[in-house]
A and B are shown apart, each in its own frame.
Chain A
Amino acid sequence: MRRDLIVVGAGPAGLCAAIEAAGQGLDVVVYDENAKPGGQLFKQIHKFFGSKEHRARERGFRIGEQLLQEAADLGVEVVLGAPVIGLYQGLTVQAQIDARIERVRANGVILATGASENMIPFPGWTLPGVIGAGAAQTMANLHGIRPGNDLLMVGCGNVGVVVAYQMLQAGCRVRAMIDAGSTIGGYGVHAAKVARTGVPFHLGHTIVRAEGDARVESATIAQVDDRWQPVPGTEKQLDVDTVCLAVGLSPSIQLAAMAGCRMLHLPEMGGRVPVRREDCSTSVSGLYVVGDAGGIEEASSAMIQGRMAGMACAMEQGFISPVVGKDRLRMLRDSLDRLREGPFGERIRGAENRMQAVLPSRLEETA
């Protein structure tokens, strides 16, 4: 069996890739290991930033519903419960569906595998009640279960501040926000809506341990020195039943690495990532990486990256003329650039420049 395009991952980036390509007439299948499509979108109950073209002011889960509908209308096949376990030369994808292994060749493959949460180990970190921010969102926003009553949030990046607010909405008391860094990494507006409910922020603090017999009953935090080591005598014990970790994400790069993509270690992208051109193509012909799998950013830019890769695939396979295709790609790139302006986009812009020194853009070539 051969497909025009296989997309791995049915999150915002993967769905947009599938929609863009299917819109040009490609036969597209999307594999996702989860029981439900949408990736993280259905946990995103907050309104998105950006501009109207980026679907600003819309809540993530509604964007998810619309993308699924669009994909269905275009005849995109979404196969759920189907982890992709291999990606071989010649763009052969190996997926596990129920008890069987399916091998499918494709003319193009777009990896939209997302990211995994980082964890930090500390005494007591295996106690029930220590959870990732993603789990907290899954419990509260998908299943309507409050993760706990009294919560400590570890990490003040955007995930930490957004999830802390959602936990307040779910009825938790957020006892403290801590971060080992010296400043809040998330948007000030997200932090402000948490702070005004009375939640204290302790920057330059880490979690020392979680205490409890069968589950978390308290947690001890302490100030850190300039080498991020706890300073003795600064410990504070907090009465919490839940410790929520929001300490960063790592791109899920396994399939890209397996396929032999050229990789670079870019700390500003979250670690080791496949080197990509502007259109999200990699060093392996016909293979694209979009969204967090290519470097940690957020859903709005992931959706544009997905569309760029979908369009680039359509162009590569002759479904659209290079002149029209490149116009669309430049338009999408400009839209992405608008999201990445300003101080928060600086790290991404720097990483993009480093990658494009390795794999130059194909957008400015004449058709």
Chain B
Amino acid sequence: MSDPLSKPVLLSQSLSTKGYLLPEDLAQASGVPSAQRRQQGPVAVFECVQEIPCNPCEQACEEGAVRVGERITTCPELVAEACTGCAKCVAACPGQAVFVVDESRGELAHVTMPYEFLPLPKKGQRVTALDRSGMVLGPAEIVRVRCSKTMDATATVTMAVPRDWAMLARFFRMDRDQESPPLPSTRESEQ
């Protein structure tokens, strides 16, 4: 008696049951650049492995570094040599599934991610880096925050992390998150 409306689309057991991809799920993905390419400078990482009907990443890229093609359910293919790591696709992706990773900076790697929460972090702010499951990796620093009109309220936030976390760190927590938010006043007046 499985619900036909939630027909399983199994590609990654972890994605299908826990909601996040494992590093090994990305090893074969067409949108993930090689370690060698990542060490050469900023490059986009497409964590998009399900065939969903979507192609704004292809349209956003002026370098021709993203290929989806006529069939819009095809997963994006990264042309790693053409990618400049400009991060236009990061803000364009409706699924917030694109990151830019730069492992050319010695001890630290830069990870750029889409961010749709307020307040935005500030440059220089110390944060706690999280992995795809929300597990704490450790301290990190925000090095760049961008939000232009064309990005339509999807900011891109760049975080400096130890290089080992370049392909692990995908989110962060600000200390503010641990405080409990006040109840909305309407709630209290009901009682």
Binding site for B on A (CB under 8 A): 46-52, 54, 56-59, 128, 145-146, 148-149, 156-157, 161, 168-169, 171-172, 177, 179-201, 203, 214, 227-228, 248, 267-268, 270, 296, 338-347
Contact = CB atoms under 8 A, between A and B. Distances in A.
Contacts, number: 194
A268 B5 contact: yes
Interface in B84-125: 92-97, 116-118
Interface of B: 1-12, 15-21, 47-56, 59-60, 71-73, 92-97, 116-118, 130-135, 152-154, 170-171, 173, 180-181, 183-184, 186-187, 190-191
Nearest to A144: B184
Nearest to A164: B19
B53 to A, nearest CB: 5
Given A56-B94, A171-B181, A188 B12 contact: yes
A342 B53 contact: yes
Contacts of B20: 191-192, 195-196
Contacts of A128: 190
A268 B54 contact: no
A181 B54 contact: no
A101 B73 CA distance: 47
B102 to A, nearest CB: 19
Contacts of A54: 53
Given A185-B7, A188-B12, A51 B19 contact: no
B44 to A, nearest CB: 15
B184 A145 contact: yes
B165 to A, nearest CB: 13
Given A189-B96, A268-B5, A50 B15 contact: no
Contacts of A201: 17-19
B115 to A, nearest CB: 10
Nearest to A172: B181
